[in-house]
Amino acid sequence: MTVTESPPQADVEEGAAALYEGDENPARGNWSGRLDFMMSTLGYAVGLGNVWRFPYLCYQNGGGAFLVPYFIILLLLGMPCFLLELVVGQFSAMSPIVGYRNYAPALKGMGFAMVVANAISTCNFTIVIAWCLYYMYLSMTAELPWQHCNNDFNTPACFNRVEYDRCRTENGNSSWWVYGHGQCITNRSLADQLLVNETIRPEQRVSAPEEYLEREVLKLSSGIGHLGDIQLGPAIAVLCTWLVVCATLSKGIKSSGKVVYFTVIFPYVVLVVLFARGITLPGAMDGVRYYMSPDFSRLGDVRTWELAASQTLFSLSAGSGGLITLASYNRFNNNVFRDTLVVCIGNSITSVFAGFAIFSSLGFLAHELGVPVSEVVTSGSGLAFVAYPELVTHLPVSPLWACLFFLMCFTLGIDSHFGGVENVISSILDVFPRLRARKTWVVVAVCGVLFCGSLVNTTQGGRHVVDLLDYYIAGRPVLLFCFLELILLYYVYGFERLLEHLETMTGYRPGPRLAAHISVLYGTVAPLLVGVIMVTSWTSFRPYESGGYVYPLWANVVGCSFLALCILPLPIGAVYNVAVEQKGSLLNVRECSRDKRRAVCVLM
């Protein structure tokens, strides 16, 4: 019989004071209060995807009708996975690697796999947050630099609708006057050659913000095989991003728990301001109608349900291990039911409200450009760095609106980053507890290594690297982890044991009828849903291409290698634990119990 124990915990006074004074776990520390954890978890879950991905998915998949599958999936899959990870973290008081290892040998590699995938994703995602910071800096000027087409880096195909209309109006719509390179061109043969005349090749036009992003900020290369030079502006922004993360996490979760009050609340303030301003602009209601007009026929499309499920899991950050780490700093009797409801519902409301704020503004942009809303709607970086920069050029005091928007994007991204990096740091300290005395240096080392890994994304070919890694590691590993998490904890560790943990922590145990329904949810419905999504995702796997650019074979091999790096710890950890450490069955589990002082797991 093998016994493992969590680090002993200090005695604390009973009563309300024990919730806020002193640490139950002096070695690791605890949150200063309930709200610190809730805000940190909300900040970790609510990210850029809520603003620039959910509204687009809603628009593309039935408008208001998309909310039906979204909230059904949230109830049947998102909230169960979220609650499960909070229970694992809070009960074990450990990050994923040690926490899962204490439950069962079969789960040993799960924690390692989660942390590896989380570290790679965090490193890759840093550049997007850095772009937000860099654009905020660029917006601090009297005139936005992407506002015109007369810069040295612009091509003749650069297109600005306002200047184009002015050119045509002032010259009586004469076919001898066409707009290109930021000026009216009178030479028709030159216009034909440059393909900038609206009547010749409108598909050749490139918006001024898009050219600014690709030709000035990124100096984008022709492909991933040509990485080119590191770009100073984005590189400095990446460094500043990591300095913020390092400074916030170096003092432990008590300091980060205070910083998130700003990084969580500020985006909501800006979203309210953007909505209040956007809804009063001409054309705003057209954008809102595009966003929410229901098309219930889309409910019969399996793809709609698949997208709703994937968006739910990704927006809640389930399956990455970060929720387990954040919950591991809770006090033992924290109410995980309340936290699950608040964060999951808050995350979903944020997504829906962000759609109103964004689409009201896009409706105004379409009105100003004289085009349908569908022509200005985009998602991801296209929304943040092309469509919205174009939009603010049509507003009074445009630099102010640009600064607010990009600061909002930065804070949305950075607090998600806090949780991801804390997951890596806490895992290292839990595996090597002697390093806790030197935690500051561990934080500096981890941030330094991840900063160096992020630098490749600041090269001229860095955007190709970002897109490639995002395609291979952003979704598929998480789906696999969620599936295995549900199966192994329910069937291997045991549903009854999990209910006992919940009762021990919260004092509440569901009655027989409710417990039976929850058992069906965790044992059948949730695994089936995530399993279908996972199979669909893996069977639709193809070599990556983007915007007509086909990535070379070697690049896809690199992407597959990173995917394998995220997944291989699963079988390796399980086999090593059974064959070398325990020399027992893969299905052996540890019976875990815990009181105020310690958690004890005995191998059965």
Tens of pLDDT along 342-352? 999 999 999 99
Instruction: Check whether residue 328 and residue 353 sit in a common domain.
Output: yes
293 is in an annotated binding site: no
- Asked if 85 contacts 328 with a C-beta cutoff of 8 angstroms, the reply is no
Instruction: Check whether residue 41 and residue 125 sit in a common domain.
Output: yes
3-class secondary-structure state, position 332: coil
Average pLDDT of span 132-150: 92
pLDDT-derived band at 27 (thresholds 50, 70, 90) equals: confident
3-class secondary-structure state, position 588: coil
Reference 456, options 234, 177, 208, 283; nearest CA is 234
**186: in domain:** yes
Instruction: Check whether residue 162 and residue 46 sit in a common domain.
Output: no
pLDDT computed for residue 15 by the predictor? 37
**348: in domain:** yes
**215: in domain:** no
**219: in domain:** no
Q: Measured between alpha carbons, how far is 139 from 158 in angstroms, rounded to an integer?
A: 20
**312: in domain:** yes
pLDDT computed for residue 10 by the predictor? 37
pLDDT at 592 over 60: no
pLDDT-derived band at 183 (thresholds 50, 70, 90) equals: low
Looking at residue 590, its amino acid is R
Average pLDDT of span 221-247: 95
Average pLDDT of span 409-425: 95
Mean pLDDT comparison of 121-125, 374-378, 493-497, highest-scoring range: 121-125
pLDDT-derived band at 464 (thresholds 50, 70, 90) equals: very high
Cβ atoms within 10 Å, residue 363: 26
pLDDT at 523 over 90: yes
Instruction: Check whether residue 75 and residue 187 sit in a common domain.
Output: no
Average pLDDT of span 289-295: 88
Instruction: Check whether residue 101 and residue 43 sit in a common domain.
Output: yes
Instruction: Check whether residue 326 and residue 448 sit in a common domain.
Output: yes
Angular region, 309: left φ>0, alpha ψ -120 to 50, beta rest = alpha
pLDDT at 192 over 80: no
pLDDT computed for residue 76 by the predictor? 93
**How many structural domains are present in the chain?**
2
Instruction: Check whether residue 338 and residue 373 sit in a common domain.
Output: yes
**217: in domain:** no
Average pLDDT, the chain: 84
At residue 207, what are phi and psi to the nearest 5 degrees?
A: -65, 155
Tens of pLDDT along 307-334? 888 889 889 999 899 999 999 999 999 9
**237: in domain:** yes
pLDDT computed for residue 12 by the predictor? 32
415 is in an annotated binding site: yes
Tens of pLDDT along 487-517? 988 988 889 988 988 888 988 888 889 999 9
Q: Measured between alpha carbons, how far is 369 from 58 in angstroms, rounded to an integer?
A: 23
pLDDT computed for residue 365 by the predictor? 85
CATH of the domain at 259: 1.20.1740
430 is in an annotated binding site: no
Instruction: Check whether residue 531 and residue 595 sit in a common domain.
Output: yes
- Asked if 145 contacts 138 with a C-beta cutoff of 8 angstroms, the reply is yes
Instruction: Check whether residue 331 and residue 375 sit in a common domain.
Output: yes
Instruction: Check whether residue 264 and residue 387 sit in a common domain.
Output: yes
pLDDT-derived band at 28 (thresholds 50, 70, 90) equals: confident
Q: What is the DSSP letter of 459?
A: B
386 is in an annotated binding site: no
Measured CA distances, 5 to 28, 62, 97, 147, 600 (Å) = 14, 51, 14, 61, 5
- What six digits make up the tokens of 267? 């985006």
pLDDT-above-70 percentage for the chain: 85
| Start-to-end C-alpha separation, the chain | 7
62 is in an annotated binding site: no
Instruction: Check whether residue 275 and residue 367 sit in a common domain.
Output: yes
354 is in an annotated binding site: no
Please give the model's pTM, rounded to 2 decimal places: 0.88
Reference 590, options 475, 494, 477, 453; nearest CA is 494
Tens of pLDDT along 532-580? 888 888 887 888 888 778 899 999 999 999 999 999 999 888 787 767 7
The secondary structure of 184-225 as a DSSP string is EE--HHHHHHHT--TTT-GGG-EEHHHHIIIIIIS---SSTT
Q: What residues make up the domain containing 178?
A: 158-204
46 is in an annotated binding site: yes
pLDDT-derived band at 594 (thresholds 50, 70, 90) equals: low
pLDDT-derived band at 154 (thresholds 50, 70, 90) equals: confident
Question: What are the b/e assignments for 289-327, b being 16+ CB within 10 Å?
Answer: ebbbeeeeebeeeeebbbbbbbbbbbbbbbbbbbbbbbb
Instruction: Check whether residue 174 and residue 44 sit in a common domain.
Output: no
